[in-house]
């Protein structure tokens, strides 16, 4: 092998920016949901086409990769969905694509993986997103867990059910009561309703036309899962399906949902060349593993790792977009970092408990919302998007706000970290 | 008047597959930060999958009209700011339910049907708010007229076929199309859409073509067609977008009047050239178009309804529906008498004996459509090379015309090879001969082939006049021989006569039918009988006309006597195109089989002997009319009993009725429907004749000659 293969062209790490992101309105999974009878790949296609329409200065043949995540990669989510969605969206055949899976953090991993490719110089412009049609693909459908999980006690079989892991988390942190979880859930509904009222959600939604037997075409423009006006009393009445007298209910957890997301990422240079807006700059990211039985704690070590990579502390983070798979999982994160349940930096537009969580799609929804909050609040310099992941993982991406006064100036801590990373490499 | 007043008509057809009008209220997307309001979107859906197109029957139109009247009231109350109409996936609407229209009994019901359409559609133009058609898919006839009656139109780039095919069907675009279209896209374009396209193999427009012509105001891709159409409608309603219609005309402008008259005249010339005005509908389209330049839309509507009511009563219309729906669309897909397709054997390699022109055309067709190796043989290398070179040249031509890709061209070229040895057929599953039309030659060929091929290799003959039964005699396995009769040019003509000899086994026939399907041909099962179907009928017809000519009827009288049938070409022209020697050869074999019903013309033989290729001079005379050259006339001798054109027509009608009745008695095909299908697909005979038997029934020939009609009342004629 040639000795000078890489030395011929000294490596430089390139900055990665989040240009734009869109999503479909989320639907309730099941026969009555807005996307019953609609294909998952079609939902992705709508997102990709809307991204291209919203960013007309990007020539379609400049898209270097289409990475689309789905947790269940069969049927309408199968056949290498990144590639099929690119073709179905009408992108040139020269644009490649692939499928990606990290359960709930699928879209987030699509973003970090392609962002790494941009940083490395393999791509200039990419589309990254995710989809989950949980009506067509119930969680875990078709999976065949290895019997060794059980026989060798590698993972408690109960940990394959996410609701059980949430109950386990309540066990671990007795201070997180059902009342706290319900109160958090009510706040999530209220915050989302308020955000809708202020028009903060709608701009990043792609309208999706669907046709139902006996009803004709309709065009879906709003999320179906939210239940605005939900009260503590309403939630108290719900049963706890995972454990008798448990704490986790359909009210303080995200539902089963259908939806898709997609984001446009670029190298900072390519964004400048093509005249693309920069909504966020990628600072760092990290994934971490935890005990599968308490997978909801995953965001804690992932965030610590991402902060360390960035040379930042938790106090540097002005906005949090944390996925609300379960209220208890968010609360365990907040407790760990000493953040109040109702801290205004956290999930300003509400979260998945209200808006829904179509597994592999949610990562980009968090980014869309953080990007809009950055624009609204130039006083914030750094924000993070984080989520827990089935089988015991967490994912965190830290972003910088380009609207902040100090954007572009080199932060001491971060530059030190960069140097250190460079030295280690 | 209201659509509901026509329920009496709908009640006559309780079995209509109703296309429902489902309404959804949608908030229009914001324009400049503000939604213009609520939009009612009507979806036309029959609840069935894409194999069952949505159609417009009486109950469908009553429902649509009633729904639109309701929306008009809502618009008046200020509840909605616009109305849209779209369809289930792949269809806006396929058009009027022709089976229902065909079975309307009496002019009054036809008039009701015409008026019902206007009643339902006029609501679209008078809602009090703008109406939009989102043409998401196929839109034919009344389907496209829904769009034309709307204020604005969007069309999908994926929309399959857009057309006003009424002139072809035997009607007029009488639900407003004939009035609106010329105003929208100009009279010349309107004549193209309403006359030239229908009469050119019923050609249709793609979405982008329709947009280019100005039929639609905006063009969107299928992936988010409804969403983008709605967003566009929102901008139009908000005043942010005003569609430009560069082709639209004001009929009252003097220069437009001139263009209008010119377009009508050009249309009339086109109709005359294509159909000899043998069917009334195309001329009626032009009559209404001509008249409606100076009248109001309401006055035109009345004229359209009266004209439609008249045309619905014509047998030309009923025959076309029979020919188009019952035969070409249905019967040709389920050939009568074909064995169970499960019996068919796989065909992975094909042999063609001969490398002449016909053999080379067959090799190209097999290779292109079936994508299996095809090997041609001939007696020497030069002939083989010529045959393969022909195929390669044709492939090159297709490539140049961009009809195929370079990869497909490479593949096809590689599939076709030649050999001077029939050993090349050793692993073939199907060997067809296309050698000289001489029984002993063909028998010798099959004897040689049979010595090489496997015992279950199918043998096929492309003979047009020889007995397949006789050809099978002497074969070790006569059960594997089948007739596989193509029509010239083989790449174009859609018919294949599959000939069953007495010993032909079902598996062989089933394979032949599957091959036909793979070749994209419509196959008709024919018993082994002289000249099978198409050639027997054509030659009976040509024989009658030639006999009249020989008897002393002037050429122009004899050859134009059948004008009212609107055949694609006159008998003499057809004879010249086929080649007089070929026609004479088949005629002789028919004469040998059937005697004087197929007289062999001495005059024709004289022409052949003298190398004359056509009775008519190659170019028209000074008066623009065809003429027989004096030197040709000098060769011929005539009788002294000339006929009038009417007499020639009548004797030809009678001869055809006689011949077809005999063919049916002999069991050549399963029924008169197969005769008609063969004449439509193999000879290009017009659908308004219904092929031929509806015409013979209509003019009384069937009853004159056979004492009864070929088809029951209502099949291609007025219901009993």
Residues of A in contact with B45 (CB under 8 A): 211, 213-214, 216
Please give the pLDDT value at position A410. 64
Strands of the B91-93 sheet, one edge to the other: B91-93, B138-140, B162-163
Show the 3-state SS of B182-204: HHHHCHHHHHHHHHHCCCCCCCC
Closest-CA distance of chain A to residue B210, Å: 21
Whether A404 is catalytic is no
3-class secondary structure, B49 = coil
Chain centre to alpha carbon of residue B585? 30
* pLDDT at residue A422, rounded to an integer: 37
Phi, psi for B339 (deg, rounded to 5): -70, 165
DSSP-based helix, strand, coil % in chain A, nearest 5: 40, 20, 40
Residue of A nearest to B34 (CA): A199
CB contact under 8 A, B227 and A207: yes
Residues of B in contact with A209 (CB under 8 A): 224-227, 230
d(CA B254, CA A167): 84
Q: Tokens for A322? A: 């944390």
Which of A215, A216, A219 is nearest residue B227 as measured by Cβ atoms?
Answer: A219
Residue (of A291, A342, A283) closest to A317 by Cα position: A283
Please report the sign of the dihedral spanned by the C-alpha atoms of residue B692, residue B696, residue B702, residue B704: negative
- Taking the C-alpha atoms of residue B294 and residue B261, their distance in angstroms, rounded to an integer, is 12
Are B223 and A215 within 8 A, CB to CB? no
- Count of other CB atoms within 10 angstroms of residue B700: 14
CB-closest option in B22, B23, B221 to A90: B221
Provide the pLDDT for residue A411: 54
Answer yes or no: are the C-beta atoms of B122 and B144 closer than 8 Å: no
Q: In this complex, do A207 and B230 lie within 8 Å of one another by their Cβ atoms?
A: yes
The pLDDT score that the predictor gives to residue B104 is 87
What is chain A's alpha carbon radius of gyration, rounded to the nearest angstrom? 21
Report the residue of chain A nearest B25, measured CA to CA: A218
Q: How do residues B581-622 score in pLDDT, each as one tens digit? A: 999 999 999 999 999 999 999 999 999 999 999 999 988 777
Question: What are the tokens at A39?
Answer: 């294909």
Q: At a CB cut-off of 8 Å and minimum separation 6, what does A16 contact?
A: A115, A118, A119, A265, A266, A267, A268, A281, A282
Mutation target to probe the A interface, by most A beta carbons within 10 A, among B29, B33, B226 is B226
Q: In this complex, is the C-beta atom of B24 within 8 Å of any C-beta atom belonging to chain A?
A: yes
d(CA A68, CA A91): 14
- Give the number of beta-carbon pairs within 8 Å between A and B: 59
Q: What is the pLDDT of residues B560-573, one digit of tens each?
A: 999 999 999 999 99
Instruction: Confirm or reject CATH 3.50.30.40 for domain B534-667, answering yes or no.
Output: no
Residue pair B51/B94 in contact by the 8 Å Cβ criterion: no
Beta-carbon separation of B224 and A46 below 8 A: yes
Helix, strand, or coil here: B585? helix
Domain spans of chain B? 3-313, 341-527, 534-667
The whole-angstrom separation of Cα B96 and Cα B140 is 8
Q: Was domain B3-313 assigned CATH 3.90.226.10?
A: yes
**B224 in contact with A, Cβ within 8 Å:** yes
Residues B642 and B627: their CA atoms lie apart, in Å, by 18
- Find the residue in A nearest to B43 (Cα): A216
3-state secondary structure of B577: helix
Query: Please, where are the H alpha helices in B150-295?
Result: 166-169, 177-185, 187-191, 207-213, 225-238, 254-275, 281-292
Q: From chain A, pick out residues whose CB is under 8 angstroms from the CB of B27.
A: 221
Other CB atoms within a 10 A radius of the CB of residue B712 amount to 11
Q: How far is A32 from chain B (nearest CA, A)?
A: 16
Q: Which of A207, A50, A197, A54 is nearest to B41 (CA)?
A: A207
Radius of gyration of chain B (CA): 29
pLDDT score recorded for residue A418 = 44
Buried b (16+ CB within 10 A) or exposed e, B611-627: ebebbbeeeeeeeeebb
Report yes or no: A372 and A317 within 8 Å, Cβ to Cβ.
no
Write down the pLDDT at residue B621: 74
Helix (H, G, I), strand (E, B) or coil at A141: coil
Q: Does domain B341-527 have CATH number 3.20.20.110?
A: no
| Nearest residue of chain B to residue A53 (CA atoms) | B228
Whether residue A417 is predicted with pLDDT greater than 80 in this model: the reply is no
Q: What is the pLDDT of residues B178-226, one digit of tens each?
A: 999 999 999 999 999 999 999 998 999 999 999 999 999 999 999 999 9
Closest by Cα among B170, B111, B167, B120 to B145: B120
Contact B41 A216 (CB under 8 A): yes
Q: Is B404 in the A-facing interface, judged by CB distances under 8 Å?
A: no
Rounded-to-integer distance, Cα B39 and Cα B238, Å: 12
The active-site residue out of A104, A133, A137, A170 is A104
Q: Is-catalytic flag, A47?
A: no
Residues of B in contact with A88 (CB under 8 A): 223
Question: Which residue reads 């020539």 in tokens?
Answer: A59
pLDDT for B541: 98
Q: Which two tokens stand for residue B50?
A: 């894409």
CA nearest to B669, candidates B432, B511, A387, B677: B677
Closest alpha carbon to B510 in B471, B456, B463, B469: B456
ipTM: 0.92
Q: In angstroms, what separates the C-alpha of B234 from chain A's closest C-alpha?
A: 13
Integer CA distances (angstroms), B581 to A402, B198, B578, in order: 87, 35, 8
SS3 annotation, B379-424: CCHHHHHHHHHHHHHHHHHHHHCCCCCHHHHHHHHHHEEEECCHHH
User: Catalytic: A336?
Assistant: no
CB-closest option in A45, A213, A217 to B86? A217
Inform me whether the pLDDT recorded for A421 exceeds 90: no
Q: What are A10-46's pLDDT values in tens digits? A: 788 999 999 999 999 999 999 999 999 999 999 999 9
Give the minimum alpha-carbon distance from B531 to chain A in angstroms, rounded to a whole number.
51
Task: Please identify which of the residues A47, A133, A137, A388 carries the catalytic annotation.
Answer: A388
Residues of chain A contacting B, Cβ within 8 Å: 42, 45-46, 49-50, 88-90, 206-209, 211, 213-219, 221
The CA-based angle A180-A184-A187, given to 5 degrees, is 140
pTM, to two decimals: 0.93
Residue of chain B whose alpha carbon sits nearest to that of A90: B223
pLDDT at A207 over 90: yes
The answer to whether the CB of B688 falls within 8 A of the CB of B648 is no
Whether omega for the bond prior to residue B489 falls within 30 degrees of 0, making it cis, is yes
Residue the block writes with tokens 């109350």: B77
- Quick check: A216 and B45 CB within 8 A? yes
Is A215 in Cβ contact with B22 (below 8 Å)?
Answer: yes
Pair A165, A388: CB distance under 8 Å = no
DSSP code at position A126: E
Q: Which residues of chain B fall short of a pLDDT of 50? A: none
Alpha-carbon torsion (A36, A42, A43, A46), positive or negative: negative
Which helix H or strand E contains A17, and what residues bound it? strand A16-23
Compute the C-alpha angle A258/A264/A269, nearest 5°: 165
DSSP-assigned letters across all residues of B469-529: HHHHTT-S-GGGEEEEEE-SSTTT--EEEEEEPTT--HHHHHHHHHHHHHTT-EEEEEES-
Res B103: pLDDT:
85
Report the residue from B45, B224, B226 with minimal CB separation from A49.
B224
| Element housing B66 (H / E) | helix B58-76
Whole-number Å distance between alpha carbons of B321 and B226: 33
Candidates A66, A94, A104; CA nearest to A82 is A66
Residues of chain B with Cβ-Cβ distance to A221 below 8 Å are 27, 29
Burial of A379 (0-12, 13-18, 19+ CB in 10 A): exposed
Q: Which residues of B touch A215 (CB under 8 A)?
A: 22, 24, 43
């Amino acid at each position: 092998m040639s000795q000078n293969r890489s030395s011929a062209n000294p490596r430089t790490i390139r900055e990665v920016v989040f240009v734009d992101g869109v999503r479909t309105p989320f639907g309730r999974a099941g026969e009555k949901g807005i996307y019953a009878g609609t294909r998952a790949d079609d939902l992705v296609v709508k997102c990709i086409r809307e991204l291209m329409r919203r960013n007309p200065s990007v020539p379609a043949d400049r898209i270097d990769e289409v990475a689309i995540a789905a947790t269940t990669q069969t049927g309408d989510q199968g056949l290498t969905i990144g590639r099929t969605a690119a073709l179905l969206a009408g992108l040139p055949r020269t644009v490649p694509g692939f499928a990606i899976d990290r359960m709930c953090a699928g879209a987030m991993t699509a973003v970090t993986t392609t962002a790494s490719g941009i940083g490395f110089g393999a791509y200039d412009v990419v589309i990254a997103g995710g989809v989950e049609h949980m009506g067509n693909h119930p969680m875990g459908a078709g999976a065949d867990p290895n019997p060794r999980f059980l026989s060798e006690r590698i993972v408690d079989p109960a940990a394959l059910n996410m609701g059980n892991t949430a109950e386990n988390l309540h066990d671990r942190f007795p201070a997180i009561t059902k009342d706290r979880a319900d109160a958090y859930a009510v706040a999530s509904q209220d915050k989302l309703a308020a955000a809708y009222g202020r028009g903060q959600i709608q701009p990043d939604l792609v309208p999706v036309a669907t046709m139902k037997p006996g009803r004709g075409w309709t065009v879906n423009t709003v999320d179906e899962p939210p239940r605005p006006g939900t009260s503590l009393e309403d939630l108290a009445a719900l049963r706890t399906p995972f454990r008798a007298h448990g704490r986790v209910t359909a009210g303080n957890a995200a539902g089963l949902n259908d939806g898709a997301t997609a984001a446009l990422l670029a190298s900072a240079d390519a964004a400048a060349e093509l005249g693309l807006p920069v909504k966020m700059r990628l600072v760092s990211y990290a994934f971490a593993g935890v005990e599968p039985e308490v997978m909801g704690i995953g965001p804690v070590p992932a965030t610590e790792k991402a902060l360390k990579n960035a040379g930042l502390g938790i106090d540097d983070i002005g906005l949090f977009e944390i996925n609300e798979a379960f209220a208890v999982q968010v609360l365990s994160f907040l407790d760990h970092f000493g953040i109040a349940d109702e801290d205004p930096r956290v999930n300003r537009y509400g979260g998945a408990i209200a808006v829904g969580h179509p597994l592999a799609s949610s990562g980009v929804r968090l980014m869309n919302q953080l990007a809009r909050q950055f624009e609204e609040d130039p006083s914030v310099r750094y924000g993070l998007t984080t989520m827990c992941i089935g089988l015991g993982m967490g994912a965190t991406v830290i972003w910088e706000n380009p609207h902040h006064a100090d954007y572009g100036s080199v932060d001491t801590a971060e530059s030190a970290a960069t140097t250190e990373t460079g030295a280690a490499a | 008047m209201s659509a509901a007043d026509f329920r009496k008509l709908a009640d006559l057809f309780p079995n209509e597959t109703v296309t429902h009008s489902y309404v959804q209220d949608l908030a229009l997307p914001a324009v400049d930060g503000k939604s213009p309001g609520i939009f009612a979107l009507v979806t036309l859906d029959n609840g069935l999958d894409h194999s069952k197109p949505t159609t417009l029957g009486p109950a469908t139109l009553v429902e649509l009209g009633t729904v639109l009247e309701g929306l008009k009231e809502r618009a008046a109350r200020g509840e909605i700011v616009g109305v849209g109409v779209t369809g289930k996936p792949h269809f806006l609407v396929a058009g009027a339910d022709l089976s229902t229209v065909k079975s309307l009994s009496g002019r009054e019901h036809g008039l009701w049907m015409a008026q019902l359409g206007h009643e339902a559609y006029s609501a679209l133009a008078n809602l009090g708010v703008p109406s939009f058609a989102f043409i998401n898919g196929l839109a034919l006839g009344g389907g496209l007229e829904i769009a034309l009656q709307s204020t604005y139109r969007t069309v999908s780039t994926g929309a399959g076929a857009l057309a006003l095919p009424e002139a072809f069907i035997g009607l007029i675009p009488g639900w407003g199309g004939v009035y609106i279209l010329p105003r929208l896209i100009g009279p010349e374009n309107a004549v193209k859409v309403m006359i030239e396209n229908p009469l050119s193999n019923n050609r249709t427009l793609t979405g982008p073509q329709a947009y280019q012509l100005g039929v639609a105001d905006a063009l969107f891709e299928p992936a988010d067609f409804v969403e983008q159409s709605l967003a566009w409608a929102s901008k139009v309603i908000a005043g942010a977008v005003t569609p430009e219609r560069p082709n639209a005309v004001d009929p009252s402008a003097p220069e437009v009047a001139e263009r209008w008259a010119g377009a009508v005249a050009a249309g009339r010339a086109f109709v005359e050239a294509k159909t000899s005005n043998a069917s009334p509908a195309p001329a009626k389209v032009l009559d209404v178009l001509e008249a409606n330049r100076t009248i109001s839309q309401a006055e035109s509507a009345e004229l359209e309804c009266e004209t439609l009511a008249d045309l619905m009563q014509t047998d030309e219309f009923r025959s076309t529906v029979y020919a188009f729906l019952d035969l070409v669309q249905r019967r040709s897909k389920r050939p009568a008498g074909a064995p169970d397709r499960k019996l068919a054997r796989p065909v992975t390699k094909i042999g063609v004996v001969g490398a002449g022109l016909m053999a080379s055309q067959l090799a190209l067709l097999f290779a292109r459509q079936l994508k299996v190796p095809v090997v041609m043989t001939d007696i020497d290398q030069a002939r083989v090379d010529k045959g393969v070179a022909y195929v390669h040249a044709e492939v090159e031509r297709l490539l140049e015309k961009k009809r195929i890709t370079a990869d497909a061209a490479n593949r096809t070229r590689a599939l076709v090879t030649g050999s001077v040895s029939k050993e090349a057929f050793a692993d073939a599953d199907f060997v067809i001969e296309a050698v000289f039309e001489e029984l002993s030659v063909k028998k010798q060929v099959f004897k040689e082939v049979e010595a090489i091929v496997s015992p279950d290799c199918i043998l096929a003959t492309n003979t047009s006049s020889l007995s397949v039964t006789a050809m099978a005699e002497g074969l070790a396995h006569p059960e594997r021989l089948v007739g596989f009769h193509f029509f010239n040019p083989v790449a174009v003509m859609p018919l294949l006569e599959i000939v069953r000899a007495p010993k032909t086994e079902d598996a062989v026939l089933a394979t032949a039918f599957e091959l036909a399907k793979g070749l994209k041909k419509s196959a008709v099962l024919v018993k082994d009988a002289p000249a099978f179907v198409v050639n027997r009928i054509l030659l009976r017809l040509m024989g009658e006309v030639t006999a009249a000519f020989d008897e002393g009827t002037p050429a122009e009288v004899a050859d134009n006597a059948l004008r009212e049938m609107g055949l694609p070409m006159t008998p003499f022209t057809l004879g010249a195109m086929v080649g007089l020697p070929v026609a004479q050869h088949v005629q002789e074999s028919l004469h040998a089989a059937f005697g004087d019903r197929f007289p062999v013309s001495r005059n024709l033989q004289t022409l052949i002997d003298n190398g004359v290729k056509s009775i008519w001079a190659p170019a028209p005379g000074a008066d623009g009319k065809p003429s027989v050259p004096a030197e040709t006339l000098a060769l011929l001798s005539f009788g002294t009993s000339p006929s009038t054109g009417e007499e020639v027509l009548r004797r030809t009608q009678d001869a055809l009725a006689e011949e077809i009745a005999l063919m049916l008695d002999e069991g050549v095909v399963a029924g008169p429907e197969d005769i008609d299908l063969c004449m439509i697909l193999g000879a290009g005979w017009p659908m308004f004749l219904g092929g031929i038997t509806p015409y013979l029934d209509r003019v009384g020939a069937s009853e004159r000659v056979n004492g009864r009609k070929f088809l029951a009342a209502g099949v291609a004629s007025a219901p009993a």
